[in-house]
Amino acid sequence: MRTLRLPDGTAVPALGQGTWYMGERADARAAEVAALRLGIDLGLTLIDTAEMYADGGAEAVVGDAIAGRRDQVFLVSKVYPHNASRRGTAAACERSLRRLNTDVIDLYLLHWRGSVPLAGTVAALQALRAAGKIRHWGVSNLDLADMHELRAVPGGAHCAVNQVLYNPEHRGIEYDLLPWQAQQAMPLMAYSPVGQGGRLLQSPALRTVAARHAASPAQVALAWGLRHPGVISIPKASTEAHLRENAAAIDLHLTAQDLAEIDAAFPPPTRKRALAML
């Protein structure tokens, strides 16, 4: 598995596993656990979850999946904005640790910006890091102006990652946010890298490129995001076939022709766009 580095030099996988919508059905739990375990076997050892997903249910699924394998996994979770006060963040982190059945979270993110001032959230995250509850912290769904504000508060320079929506349909961040993060040596974590609902994967451009490489449109979408050396992608997969498909995407290298055809179908931004969110 190809890796990239957080600002402090920690190596993390460029391709991982998302868990949005996991933990919502008891009858699917065994299959979801098995899928995550297979993903680990395939090298997808970064697992992203959140207290929001199934009200903690996804974290519980992850906890089952990593039992006995915690040292093989780079674990990411997120705190709700309404829990992101000094006291609320600490309590939310303890709940997540219990559900995940671990004593430390590798990367803990503010899920999106809410009413709690960033200075208070950063202070809480820094305290968790000092206490050994988390190893790194970051943010999610913050645009460039928010990132500048974050860097200006005490401790804000310790932000390791910003997780945002990024795929060929949603590439507004290429105008300013993605280049800025590259300058800061701060990885961007792309959620929904193959889109939602299957519309992106029906794109004639992606299907043409996929046929040229004997690949799938999903693999093309993943390779497109991973073409940038500072991007981590976290697609969700719940079947063995999809997991193997995702893992193989790391070896797909798109040509200049491929990228030009995708650009023609999904033009890169020429002006500032509002940050897209799901």
Q: What is the 3-state secondary structure (H, E, C) of the chain?
A: CCEEECCCCCEEECECEECCCCCCCHHHHHHHHHHHHHHHHCCCCEEECCCCHHHHHHHHHHHHHCCCCHHHCEEEEEECHHHCCHHHHHHHHHHHHHHHCCCCEEEEEECCCCCCCHHHHHHHHHHHHHCCCEEEEEEECCCHHHHHHHHHCCCHHHCCCEEEECECCECHHHCCHHHHHHHCCCCEEEECCCCCCCCHHHCHHHHHHHHHHCCCHHHHHHHHHHCCCCEEECCECCCHHHHHHHHHHHHCCCCHHHHHHHHHHCCCCCCCCCCCCC
Quote the pTM value.
0.96
Write down the catalytic residue from 53, 108, 166, 191: 53
Instruction: Return the pLDDT at 239.
Output: 87
Boundaries of every domain in the chain: 3-265
Q: Which of 181, 133, 183 is nearest to 159 (CA)?
A: 181
Are 13 and 73 contacting, i.e. CB atoms less than 8 angstroms apart?
no
Helix axes 29-41, 240-248, angle to 10 degrees: 30
pLDDT at res. 197: 79
Instruction: Return the pLDDT at 150.
Output: 98
CATH of the domain spanning 3-265: 3.20.20.100
State yes or no: is 53 an active-site residue: yes
Q: For position 207, what pLDDT does the model report? A: 98
Q: Please list the pLDDT of the chain residue by residue as tens digits (278 residues).
A: 899 999 999 999 999 999 999 999 999 999 999 999 999 999 999 999 999 999 999 999 999 999 999 999 999 999 999 999 999 999 999 999 999 999 999 999 999 999 999 999 999 999 999 999 999 999 999 999 999 999 999 999 999 999 999 999 999 999 999 999 999 999 999 999 999 878 999 999 999 999 999 999 999 999 999 999 999 999 998 889 999 999 999 999 999 999 999 999 999 999 999 999 98
